[in-house]
Structure 1
C-alpha cells in the first residue's frame, strides 16, 4: 500500500524535486529483509544500498524459466513495475533478451513492450505472453512424434543421436514451412520456443548429449572434445516427450492473466519507431556490458534451428568505454521521446574487468543534459559488509551478489 500511494503522488505532482525526494525517502525506509537502506554519495552520484529483492523472497513464476545468457532475475523488473506503474501502463525493454521484463509486465497486468536486435528474442518471448493450453500442445506433439526427416547437418551428430537429429530436422522443417504465413500459429510458436531452449544442456532433459548449459552452445569442435574427454556418445532422446515435459514445467503456475496487447519488435535499442511520444510509463532494461558476452557465438545452434541467418543479425560489441557510453546516450535520447513525463527508466548495469569499470557512472554521465532527473543508483546487495564496497567489489566475488540500477525520471 505504501508504494501504491507513492506511485499516485509521483504521477500527479508537478514538483519534480519533491517527487524524487519522496521516492528516495520511501526506499531509504525499505527494510523488508531486515536492514535499513544505506545512502552513500560518491563523486556526485547517490547510491542507495540494500537487499531490495532476492530470489528467496518468492519464487518467480514458472513461465520465466527458460535460459538465455546474461539475463536478470524476474524479481528485478517486478520490484520497479510494482512501485512505478499502474495496471495497463506500458512497460518496455529495448534489450529484452529472453523477455523477462515483458513477461513480468504481462504477469502484473501491464502492457508488455519489448524489442531486441536478435530475432530470437521475439521467438522466446511472444509464446509465453499468451500460451496455448497443455492439451493443445500435447495434441500437436502427438502429430510431430510420428515425423522423422533426413539429417540436414552431419556435423551436429556430435550433439545428437542420429534418430534424435532426424526428428529435430523434421520438426525444424515443419515449423519453418508453417511459419511462412503472416500470423504465427500459437501452438507452433510455443513448441518452437521450447525446442530452442532444449537444444543443448547438461542433463537428460535436453535433446543433446552432455554439453554446456543451454544458454551457451559450444562449437562442433569443442563438443567433439567434450565427448572424447568424457568418453560419451549421444543417446537417443524423445523430442516430443521432452518438449511436453518442459511445457508442463513452464505452465505449472498457469498462464499470465489478461493484460493489454503486447508489442514486440526486432530493432536496435536506440530506435523505437513503433512507439509514439510518451507512450511508455517505465523502461526496465540491461544492455550488453562492453564485449563481455558474445551473443552470436552463444546462439549459433538456436539460430540454425529457428532459421535465423546469424550474419544478418547486427549485434554490436562496444570494446571501449567511450563507444559504450555513446551507445547509452543514443538509447537515452530515444527513451526521452517515448517515456511519458513522470515516467521512469531503470537501467541495470554490471561490473566488468574486475570491477575497474563502473558502468553506472557512464550511464549517469550519458544522461547529462537530457530531460531526465538523475535520481540515484539503486544497489541490490545481499552480502556487502561495508557500504564503500557497493562500487568496488565484482559480482560473485568475495561472496557478493549485486545489481546496480540507475534510476532516471522523465521531467
Structure 2
C-alpha cells in the first residue's frame, strides 16, 4: 500500500474561501471538491494576458507549483498552448519546461521567458521599414484597412529577417514583437489591428468576417500598428518581466520530449479534450502571420474515447520517464459532451500499469464570472464550469 501524500491532506484541510473541502468517491475514484482559487478575472501576473482558446488560469499551475516544488525545481507542460504553466513556473523561480506540437506555442511562450523592457521594444520597432510592405493576401482586406495590412506585411518581412522561425534563440526584442503582433491580429475592440471581429482567441474565416462587416455595416479602419504593439507591451510588462533562467521549450508530440530521465519535479498540463477545439482552424491567421503551415501541424483530434485514452496512456508513459520518484502530475481535464463523458475516468484507465500512484481528482468548482455568450454558451448552463484535475504521484 502507498502512504498518504501531504498533498491530499492539504486538499482536505483547504478552507481558503471559507468552505471545507467536500470528499466523495465515485466509480472507485476519490474526489476533492472546493473552490481552490479565485473565480475573478485578471488576478494573475499581467504577463499572462495572451489570448488562446481553451487555456486555464495561471492560478491552476500556481496552486501546484507552490505546494509540490522548491525554488529551482523543474516544472513541465507537455501541451503548453499559450505557455501558462512555463511562464508561471518562471515567475515563481522554477525551471520552466514546455512542449507543444504546434510551433505557434513556442512563439507565444519563449518571449515571456526572456528578460525584456519596453524601451528595447520601442528601439527595435524604430528599425522596421514600414514602407516595404505589399499586400499579398487581398482577401485579408476583410479584416484590415489597406494601409494597416501593408504595415502588417512590412512587419512580417522584418520578422523574417530579424527572428527567423528556424532560429532557436532569435533576437529577444523581435521575438517579443512577433508574440505581441500575433495577439493583436484580430479582435473585437480598437486595441487590435483588425476591424471589429470575434474575440481574440480565434480567427474567423474570411467569409465569416465579410458577413460580420456586412451585418454591422462596417469597414476596417486604419490602425496604428506600432502604437498598438507598444500599448500591449506596456500592459504585459506593467508588473515586470519574468526572470530569465535555464528554461527549455520543445516542439513535438507530448509522448516524445527531449528532456532527460527523472529530471522533472512536477507536470501541470491540460491535453486536448477529444475533438472539442480545432486549434488549426482557430489559429489560421496567426499561422499565416508567423509563416507556419497550419495544415502541416499534426494536432490530434480524438473522435473516440478509446483513441483519447490511448493517447493519454502514451503521454503518461513519457511523464513517468521524465519525472523523478515522488514527482507529481496534475492532468486537467473537462466535462465534455454535456457531461456525458468524464475524462478523468479515462485517465484512471490510462494510468493502469504505469509507475504512478493515482491520488484522486481535484475539482475546482466555481461559477463563471466571464461571459461566454459569444460562443452561444450560457454561463453556468453549458461548457466547463469546473476544473477537474487528475492527480498522480510517480512511484
Residue 356 of structure 2, aligned match among 369, 372, 375: 372
> How far did 1:58 drift?
8.0
Partner of 1:317: 301
Correspondences of 1:6-405 after superposition (within 5 Å)? 17-20=2-5, 22-56=6-40, 59-144=43-128, 146-180=130-164, 181=167, 183-258=169-244, 260-272=245-257, 274-382=258-366, 396-397=380-381, 401-405=385-389
Is the CA contact (8 Å cut-off) linking 1:144 and 1:240 kept in structure 2?
A: no
How far the C-alpha of 1:146 sits from its partner, in A, is: 4.2
**294-303 or 57-66, larger mean C-alpha shift:** 57-66
Q: Cα deviations across residues 278-323 of structure 1 (Å, max 9, x unaligned)?
A: 0100000000100000000000000000000112211110000000
User: Would the aligned equivalents of 2:33 and 2:362 in 1 still touch at CA under 8 Å?
Assistant: yes
Q: 2-side partners of 1:354 and 1:93: how far apart?
A: 27
Question: 1:30 Cα shift?
Answer: 0.4
| SS across alignment from 2:2 | helix
- How many positions carry a matched residue from both structures? 384
CA shift for structure 1 position 143? 2.9
Contact 1:150 1:170 survives alignment (8 Å):
yes
Aligned-partner Cα distance in 1 for 2:336–2:159: 39
Unaligned runs of at least 5 residues, structure 1: 1-15, 385-393
* TM superposition shift of 1:271: 0.9
Which ranges in structure 2 are unaligned for 5 or more consecutive residues?
369-377
- Cα deviations by residue, 1:152-207 (Å, 9 ceiling, x for unpaired): 11000000000000000010011012234563010000000000000000000000
Q: How far apart are 1:382 and its partner, in Å?
A: 2.0
Change (3 A) 1:135 1:71: same
Q: Structure 1 residues 310-319 or 99-108, which shifts more? A: 310-319
SS at the partner of 1:109? coil
Q: Give the direction of change, closer, same or farther, for the CA distance of 1:184–1:58 in structure 2 (3 Å limit).
A: closer
Deviation at 1:54, TM superposition (A): 1.5
* TM-score normalised by L of structure 2: 0.94
Do the aligned residues in 1 keep the contact of 2:113 with 2:243 (CA within 8 Å)? Answer: no
Distance in 1 (alpha carbons) for counterparts of 2:210 and 2:366: 40
Q: Distance in 2 between matches of 1:57 and 1:65?
A: 11
Deviation at 1:398, TM superposition (A): 7.4
1:143 aligned counterpart, secondary structure: coil
How far 1:145 moved relative to its partner? 7.0
